[in-house]
Chains A and B, each alone.
Chain A
Amino acid sequence: MAGTPAGPPDEPIPLAQRLIDNPFLLLIAGLIVMFVIYTGWGLWEILTLPPATLP
């Protein structure tokens, strides 16, 4: 299991493979999606909640 060959040496590596091979790019993408869609949006929902009025 010495790695998955990238193909013949003279063949350019496809863009999608280059993106997926970059762990830091994936890390940034994962952080952005979670922190925007779940955490950021969730905080905004809570902080903009109008105060409940007593009956």
Chain B
Amino acid sequence: MTAVFRACPVTGRKIDAQAEALIRVNAVVSIVSLLIGAIAAVLLVLTRWQAVHLLPADWFYRLLGVHGMSMLIFFILFFEMAVLIFASTVLLNARQVAPKVGWAAFGLMVVGAVMVEVLMFAGKADVLFTSYPPLKAHPLYYLGIILFAVGALIVVGLFFANLVVAKRERTYEGSVPLVTFGAVTAAIIAVITLLHGAAIYIPAFLWSLGLMNMDAQIYRMVWWGLGHSSQQINVAAMVAIWYMLGGLTVGAVVLNEKVSRVAFVLYILFISMASAHHLLVDPGMGSAWKVVNTSYFMYMAVLASMIHGFTVPAGMELGQRLRGIGTGLFDWLKRAPWGDPGFAALVFSVVLFGFIGGITGVTIGTEQINIIVHNTLRVPGHFHATVVAGTALAFMGATYYLIPLIFRKKVAFWGMARIQPYLFAIGMVIFTMSMTFAGSFGVPRRHWDISFSQAPFDLQFSPAVDLLLALTAIGGLLAATSAFMFIAIAVVSVFFGQPLPDLSGGYPIAGVPLGLTNPPRHAPDVDARNAELHGPKMGWMGPAPGTLALVGVFLAAFIVYFFVNWKVLSFVWKIG
């Protein structure tokens, strides 16, 4: 099939029609999955809010499974498939290899996802997201996941094929762009993830048919190679989007290509073993395995996150300064385009991922501290900060640029779009912080009724827990409201939106992010500014002093939170 290209009027890139269509359908199904997951989220938070306690027990656990699969697997992975296709074709001016295979893979993913959703809603798969044996679902549930995973693996294979063909056809020079390299990282972690998925869901399928036995400990260990690693695909894709949005919104520069690429390589090598965090209290695994996987090696991936957490905002600061914006420590940030939803989403994604998700993740992933965290609400408090406040918000920010660039439509409800990232971030801060503190009081996760009514024993939590669970629900409802706003904006833009107008005028247009109408450009004297920023005048803080100051705040918060947790642990093990 001969590739048909169009030229993007904004970026001038060649865009393959087949790749563009595949990006569109993956993005649309991703948003549909987000809608299902968000509706489930509203019902769940209204149940954990003790004063409301909306759902009966069976529907609470059923919708908890629906929420997990819809959000953590379907929403995220369909979007990531769109990112992989975008990064390997649009960013490289390359064609989509074997588009018919791409459509078949997409079809497999959709069929698998529909099977899983139907079986969960029908009550045939009340096994939660993790489906730990001996909980057993209908065989078609496992088959649906296998079909979805096979489809995703084919798309990842096509991504690598696209890279090979682009290089052979010389559509780019030298190394692939950094954003594409981030997508390479995500694709490699996806292969690791999906192979673990095959290694556990195929036996689980046979077990559900009564054809073999299942060892619960082996299941947990291999399953988490899928369950946690799938969230590391998100991290890599999210960081790639950070770099992309930084460049689009404020003309961010890459401080050091080598350092950023090495950080991605550290992800490839070490981030997947974070899966072992989930087994830190399992008696079947030895301390050496736990410590090596979650500390010595995994900290290399933490180092990588901290590198990106510095280079992304520092690149934004330097980009602003090279454009002549900002003189003091934070002037570059104050004068940034805060009305651009892509920029606001980027900043909140970086800050919430690092300050809440990152700090809590490294702390609770420490073997000793994990004993006071395991199976409490602190765990979902952590991963909602990484996956939702970090990844989902970054994806939302990217969508505001993809709608004009890929769908060639104006963003609908522009006024609402401009406040949507703010509402989402506020909601997620309240939600994750309240959940984390409730977990600190020992409140269990995945639990329908912490009042333990009708139980043969009595357990009273601190009265503060009721307030924290109410705040969790309020934060969750705010974030869900923002998610519904985002879905409405995306659906109306894509299906009923106004066509993209001519952007060459250089003036702001409602419905088009500022980075597209007024692309950030360096000042005419950029070389002189660059020399000055890297010269002795900037002192020991270098060319990005504002970011360095923020990093100081981050490290101080990290140290305080980490050692407070050791202190709390000492209360558990009283001596004397």
Contact = CB atoms under 8 A, between A and B. Distances in A.
B192 A29 contact: no
B257 A26 contact: no
A27 interface: yes
Interface stretch (B214-222, B503-511, B565-573): B214-222
Nearest to B293: A38
B285 A46 contact: yes
Interface of A: 1-7, 17, 20-21, 23-24, 26-27, 29-31, 33-35, 37-39, 41-43, 45-46, 49
A45 B262 CA distance: 32
Contact of B225 (A2, A21, A27, A39): A39
Given A1-B179, A3-B174, A46 B192 contact: no
A46 B217 contact: yes
- Per DSSP, chain A at the interface is helix
Given A3-B175, A34-B273, A27 B188 contact: yes
Contact of A30 (B93, B172, B189): B189
B445 interface: no
A45 B173 contact: no
Interface in B189-222: 189, 191-192, 195-196, 199, 215, 217-218, 221-222
Contact of B191 (A20, A31, A43, A45): A31
A42 B297 CA distance: 15
Interface residues of B, number: 50
Given A33-B297, A39-B199, A42-B279, 13 more contacts: A3-B175, A7-B174, A23-B184, A26-B265, A26-B268, A29-B269, A30-B188, A30-B268, A33-B270, A34-B225, A37-B292, A38-B225, A49-B284
Contact of B184 (A26, A38, A39, A49): A26
Contact of B272 (A26, A38, A46): A38
Which interface residue of B188, B189, B292, B293 has the most chain A CB atoms within 10 A? B188
Interface string B206-248: 0000000001011001100100010000000000000000010
A9 to B, nearest CB: 10
B91 A6 contact: no
A31 to B, nearest CB: 6
Interface in B299-319: none
Nearest to A23: B184
A22 B366 CA distance: 34
B214 to A, nearest CB: 13
A19 to B, nearest CB: 9
A38 B195 CA distance: 13
10 contacts: A2-B172, A2-B173, A3-B172, A4-B257, A7-B174, A21-B175, A27-B188, A30-B268, A37-B297, A45-B286
